[in-house]
Amino acid sequence: MCGSAKSAARARTALVIVDMQNDFVSPAGAMARFGFHAADVQAIVAPLAALLDAARRNGVAVFHTRMVNDVRRNAPSWTAFWGEPAVTLPGSWGAEFVPELTPLPTETVVEKYGYGAFFGTSLDTMLRACGVDTIAVAGTGPNICSGDTMHQAFALGYHVVAVSDCLACFSRRGAAHSATMKDVGLYVIENHYGRVVTSRDLIAAWEGDR
């Protein structure tokens, strides 16, 4: 779970991949069926797979989050707002990770029942057990799920890194609106919570930190 980093800097860093699940990413997933523009999310799979491979090569701890919609576990406010669960249902194909980003048996999967990955989960405990003080975040929703995860991480004292080309948004209004929402999300992170970097720069830092 904690990786086998050879340097102190990499040993204190974790890659947190947020909700790269079939219902959110696949053209056959629920979000696409419901009319959301999902091409931007699909476009981050390749760079994120390269980032994940680099994390594995360099001993960076990897955590995957899985959004689960279950009326028995979601907050009453969540169910009142969203209604009966229709996306990432427990045990469904839609809740599984896209094949390119399938977790290894040694990597931790954090199931969550709301936007952020810290609230109501043991992610904070597991990161601290690994000696992590910095999280690099990639995946869906820099304005929602990934964004909420980074906001919560900052409040808990973690150094936050947003991987710009490995984050993407959904929108019913098309590609331009998805891109605008992403820009807003990254602007908020960069000006209030942490650093925004490209996957190329992050990989270079990991590769150079041997």
- pLDDT of 26-37, one tens digit each? 999 999 998 887
Question: For position 115, what pLDDT does the model report?
Answer: 95
Residue 81 burial (CB count, 10 A): 9
Asked if 118 and 124 touch (Cβ cutoff 8 Å), the reply is: yes
pTM for the structure as a whole: 0.94
Give me the long-range contacts of 87-94 (CB less than 8 A, separation at least 24): 87/23, 87/24, 87/30, 87/31, 88/19, 88/21, 88/23, 88/24, 88/30, 92/23, 93/22, 94/21, 94/22, 94/23, 94/29, 94/30
Strands (DSSP E) contained in 68-158 are 108-112, 134-140
Whether the predicted pLDDT of 209 surpasses 70: no
Question: Where residue 10 falls among pLDDT bands split at 50, 70, 90?
Answer: confident
Ramachandran angles phi, psi of 134, nearest 5°: -135, 135
104: tokens are 């290894």
Amino acid letter, 13: T
Write the CATH number of the domain with boundaries 8-208: 3.40.50.850
Alpha helices in 104-174 (DSSP H): 123-129, 145-155
Share of the chain above pLDDT 90, in %: 72
Strands 13-18 and 61-67: parallel
